[in-house]
Amino acid sequence: MKDSIAGELEHLKKLGVNTMSFVPSRRALPDGTFSSRSDSDTKRFVIGQIVAAHEQGIQVYLVPNFRHPSTLPDRSTAETYLENFTPIVLEWADIAEEYGVALFPPGNELDKPFPKDLVATWLHDIIPKMNERYDGLTIAKLKDVFDMDFSGYDYVGFTNIGRQNPGGVRAEVELAKKYAARDGARGVIISEFGWNIRSDEGEETQVKTIEQVFQESWGEVDGYFVISWLLPGYSVKGRPAEQVIKQWFTAESGVRPPPVPTSKPVNPAALGYNIFAPGGMGGDCDNNPTPKFTAHITELSKISYLTPAGTVQGGDLKPHGYLHNVGSNPEVPVYAPIDSYLIDFAYYEGYTGVGHYTFKFQVSCEVAYYFDHLRAVVDKISVVTPEFPATDSRGVVVSPPIFFQAGELIGYTGGNSTFANWDFGVLNTATWNELPNDPYVYSPNVEKYRFAVCPYEYYDDSKRAQYMMLLGDKGCGP
The whole-number pLDDT of residue 265 equals 35
Residue 235 and residue 178 share a domain: yes
Residue 325 and residue 437 share a domain: yes
Residue 168 and residue 22 share a domain: yes
In this structure, what CATH number is given to the domain that contains residue 116? Answer: 3.20.20.80
Neighbours of 364 (CB within 10 A): 18
Task: Identify the domain containing residue 434 by its residue range.
Answer: 300-474
Residue 255 and residue 328 share a domain: no
Residue 250 and residue 177 share a domain: yes
In a domain, 410, yes or no: yes
The tens-digit pLDDT sequence of the chain (478 residues) is 334 566 688 888 888 999 999 888 887 787 878 777 667 888 888 898 898 888 888 999 999 987 655 556 778 888 998 999 999 999 999 999 999 999 999 999 898 888 999 999 999 999 999 999 999 999 999 999 999 999 999 999 998 876 666 678 888 899 999 999 999 999 999 999 988 876 445 788 888 889 889 888 888 999 999 988 877 778 888 888 898 899 888 876 555 555 544 433 333 443 456 888 888 887 788 889 999 999 999 999 999 999 999 998 877 889 999 999 998 788 999 999 999 999 999 999 876 778 999 999 999 999 999 999 999 999 999 999 998 998 878 889 999 999 999 999 999 999 888 889 999 999 998 888 888 877 776 666 777 888 999 999 999 999 999 999 999 988 888 8
In a domain, 421, yes or no: yes
Residue 331: closest CA among 370, 299, 371, 372: 299
3-state SS assignment for residue 306: strand
Angle between helices 202-217 and 168-183 (to 10 degrees): 40
Domain boundary among 265, 290, 323: 265
Give the span between the Cα atoms of 301 and 177, in whole angstroms: 67
Question: Domains in the chain: how many in total?
Answer: 2
Residue 196: closest CA among 205, 187, 188: 205
Q: Is 54 exposed, middle or buried (0-12, 13-18, 19+ CB in 10 A)?
A: middle
Residue 225 and residue 313 share a domain: no
The whole-number pLDDT of residue 67 equals 66
In this structure, what CATH number is given to the domain that contains residue 323? Answer: 2.70.70.10
Residue 141: closest CA among 160, 125, 168: 160
Residue 250 and residue 135 share a domain: yes
In a domain, 290, yes or no: no
Residue 208 and residue 70 share a domain: yes
In a domain, 345, yes or no: yes
| Distance set, CA 161 to CA 22, 60, 85, 317 (Å) | 18, 21, 25, 21
Residue 99 and residue 190 share a domain: yes
Q: Is 253 exposed, middle or buried (0-12, 13-18, 19+ CB in 10 A)?
A: exposed
- Give the HSE-up count for residue 274: Cα atoms under 13 Å, Cβ half-sphere: 14
DSSP letter for 473, please: G
Residue 253 and residue 347 share a domain: no
- Tell me how far the alpha carbon of residue 337 is from its chain's centroid: 29
In a domain, 277, yes or no: no
Give the span between the Cα atoms of 239 and 233, in whole angstroms: 11
- What is the distance in angstroms between the CA of the first residue and the CA of the last residue of the chain? 30
In a domain, 279, yes or no: no
In a domain, 308, yes or no: yes
Residue 379 and residue 261 share a domain: no
In a domain, 319, yes or no: yes
Residue 322 and residue 221 share a domain: no
Contact 228, 20 (CB under 8 A): no
